[in-house]
Amino acid sequence: MTTRQPEFGVYIHVPFCSRRCDYCAFATWDDKASLIDDYMDALATEIRRAVASGLPGAVSVFVGGGTPSLVPAEALARVISLVPLVDGAEVTVECNPDNVTESLLRAYRDAGVNRISLGVQSMAPHVLASLGREHDPDNVTAAVEAIRAVGLPTFNLDLIYGAHGESIGDWEETVNAVLALDPPHVSAYALTVEAGTPLADDGPRHPDDDDQADKYPIVDDLLEAAGRPNYEISNWARTGHESRHNRLYWAQSDYRGFGCAAHSHSAGRRWWNVRTPERYVDLVRRGDSVEAAFEQLTADQVAAERVQLAIRRREGVSRADIASAKQAEIDDFVNEGLLTVDNDRVMLTRRGRLLANAITLGLT
């Protein structure tokens, strides 16, 4: 009998943006374009060194940021091509609709990219302005047409709801406009306020919990009716188009992050690289470690995270994975209509999805 190898993923961070969105707290910069060539060279070097040290074959590669589609396509393709892949691996690149062209996508496709993640957020210009986004909604349509024209097999469109000035009607129109593009996968995230962002400093623009609670059932109903069932709180897809990379994270699999601020995980050890691209490039050039810090998870922490991650998914979490001291909580949540139990699987109801953080705390 053969032993199934655990899945392994790779994340590649590209920290450059033409404009930093008002809600973004990621390690991204809109004033460091002069570093692009040096940074891409450093990425290639870091990956080559990891491969030489025995980097496993990846079932999934995700290139995020930032705006990966801002860097020269050939440079990004060169970096991607250095990652060892298993047969049938998923290779995803995040793109801004304004940057997508057929020539860009052909270069990605020829490097093995088979999935595009398109940052849409909203199809309403005034909502995009409230978020500090600069792309033109018409370019979303053009980008989807380009994705199909070059023959990429799948893509996802990412949305954000709850921005200041976004009415219920605006949100319905955004979801319907996205569905008109017939995407295989849609993600919809509630806007959150992150410390240190322009949004955090602007109280009147903070999202309203009740407003977001009203908007979630809208997207869920529309996408479910369109044949894209929910498979994780914020993700809907046709069967076979779910994000393999996200599922790898939710399953607590190992992954390796390359680039500044990228995170990695191996057997309960998590570590992250230095945050700024300048320091990252300098350390790679010197042949020094780019690791900034790490944490070693205890068995209890691993068990708690297993519940936290699994409960978000459609298939839920095994009741056996929930501590015996928390079993009574399950029944309480079931009685409140927040959980269901089927064949020993504990799953969120739709109402439970809206309160997932509180439920998770109760179960861990």
Which tens digits make up the pLDDT trace of 255-291? 999 999 999 999 999 999 999 999 999 999 999 999 9
Q: Report yes or no on 244 lying in a domain.
A: yes
Residue 196, sorted as left (phi over 0), alpha (psi -120 to 50) or beta, turns out to be: left
Interval 39-53: pLDDT, tens: 999 999 999 999 999
Would 31 be classed as within a structural domain?
Answer: yes
The answer to the question of residue 269 being in a domain is no
- Looking at the fold, whether 18 and 162 belong to one and the same domain comes out as yes
Low-confidence stretches of the chain (pLDDT < 50) are: 1-3
**CB–CB of 153/114 below 8 Å?**
yes
Given a contact cutoff of 8 angstroms between Cβ atoms, the answer to whether 329 and 359 are in contact is no
- Same domain? For 47 and 194 the reply is yes
Whether residues 211 and 85 share a domain: the answer is yes
What local confidence, expressed as pLDDT, does residue 172 receive?
98
Tokens of 126: 């005034």
Q: Is residue 286 part of a domain?
A: no
The residue segments making up the domain with residue 180 are 8-250
* Residue that finishes a domain, picked among 210, 225, 250: 250
What's the rounded Cα separation, in Å, for the pair 6 and 77? 26
Cα 80 to Cα 89: distance, rounded to the nearest angstrom: 12
Q: Would you state the pLDDT for residue 5?
A: 60
- Show which of 250, 280, 313 is a domain's final residue: 250
Residue 5 has a CB neighbour count (10 Å cut-off) of: 10
C-alpha dist (Å) from residue 243 to 31, 114, 168, 254: 31, 12, 28, 16
User: Is the same domain home to 93 and 225?
Assistant: yes
Q: Say if residue 216 is in the same domain as residue 304.
A: no
In a shared domain, residues 238 and 305: no
Query: Does 241 share its domain with 304?
Result: no
In a domain, 264, yes or no: no
Number of compact structural domains in the chain: 2
Using CA atoms, how far apart are residues 172 and 237, in angstroms rounded to an integer? 18
Answering whether pTM is above 0.85, one says yes
- Mark whether 195 and 310 lie in a shared domain: no
Q: Any idea what the CATH number is for the domain that residue 319 is in?
A: 1.10.10.10
- The verdict on residue 205 lying in a domain is yes
Structural contact between residues 161 and 192, judged by C-beta atoms closer than 8 angstroms: no
* Residue 285 maps to a domain: no
CATH code assigned at 215: 3.20.20.70
Backbone angles phi, psi at 158, to 5 degrees: -105, 130
Residue 2: predicted pLDDT: 40
